[in-house]
Amino acid sequence: MEYKITNIKLSVKCRNLCLDSVEGYLSENKIPFKKFNNYIVTKLTYTYIIFKKNIKSSENIYHINITKLDSFECLNESINNIKLMSKDSDICSYTIDNITVSTDFKKSINLLQLLNKLPNEISATYNSETFPGIFLKYPIKKGTAILFHTGKCVLLGCKNLNNIEYILDSLKTITA
C-alpha cells in the first residue's frame, strides 16, 4: 500500500556543543532563530530545538530534537547540520522518536461497523461529535492510526518501517 512519510522526529544526543557557537553560526549566516530560557529553536532545512545542558548532570551531553524530515534519506543531512552549527560537537547517538505517515484507502469506510470487527489487541476511541476520525491504538508501542470515513488515514507514533507496514497491513484487513 502506498503511503507518504510526512514527518520524522529525531532525538539526538551530542557532546561539546557550544550554544554561543551555534548562535554565532546562525547570526553570521542570517538564519533566523529564537532563544528561550532553556532552548534555541531554528529552521534550516529542518527544525532544530537545541536544549541547554542539564546543569545537574555531570556529563557534557546536549539534547537536540529535529523535525520536518520527510524521508529516511534526510537523517544524515539533518545530523550533519548540527556539526555545521557547532564544529566542536560530537554526535553520541540518535533515535527516531516518531514517524508520521499519511495514506488513503480510496474508499468510504463505515467507522461504526469497523468498531465491531476490531481485534481485541487494538484499542479504539471514536466520538463523531467531537472528532470525525477513529483512533486505533496498536499494542507494544507500534503506533496509532487515525482513520476517517473518507478512507484517509494518518499514522503516528511509529518508530520504524516495520511498525508502519504492520499497521497498514492490519488496516487493510479490517477495512476489507
Bridge partners (DSSP) of residue 162 are none
Q: How many domains does the chain have?
A: 2
Q: What is the pLDDT along the chain (176 residues), one digit of tens a residue?
A: 899 999 999 999 998 888 888 999 999 999 999 999 888 999 988 999 999 876 566 677 889 999 999 999 999 999 999 988 988 788 889 999 999 999 999 999 999 999 988 988 999 999 989 999 999 999 888 999 999 999 999 999 999 999 999 999 999 999 88
| Whole-number Å distance between alpha carbons of 81 and 76 | 9
Residue-by-residue DSSP string for 35-83: E-SSEEEEESSSEEEEEPP-TT-SS-EEEEEEEEE-STTHHHHHHHHHH
Q: Are residues 20 and 67 in the same domain?
A: yes
Q: Are residues 17 and 76 in the same domain?
A: yes
Report the run of H or E that residue 7 belongs to, with start and end.
strand 4-15
Domain containing residue 161: 105-175
In a domain, 1, yes or no: no
| Whole-number Å distance between alpha carbons of 70 and 52 | 26
Q: Are residues 118 and 171 in the same domain?
A: yes
In a domain, 53, yes or no: yes
End position of a domain, from candidates 79, 96, 113: 96
pLDDT for position 93: 92
Domain of 59, CATH number, reads: 3.30.310.180
Q: From residue 27, how far is each of 2, 40, 78 by CA, in Å?
A: 41, 13, 19
End position of a domain, from candidates 52, 74, 96: 96
Domain of 129, CATH number, reads: 3.30.310.10
| Per-residue cell: 101 | 505517515
pLDDT for position 38: 84
pTM here? Answer: 0.88
In a domain, 87, yes or no: yes
pLDDT for position 24: 92
| Per-residue cell: 17 | 556543543
pLDDT for position 19: 84
Q: Are residues 115 and 169 in the same domain?
A: yes
In a domain, 24, yes or no: yes
Contact between 22 and 29 (Cβ < 8 Å): no
The length of the chain, given as a count of residues: 176
Quickly tell me which residue has 524521508 as its cell.
Answer: 71
Contact between 160 and 97 (Cβ < 8 Å): no
Q: Taking Cα atoms as reference points, which of 158, 167, 108 lies closest to residue 6?
A: 158
Q: Are residues 40 and 120 in the same domain?
A: no
End position of a domain, from candidates 51, 74, 96: 96
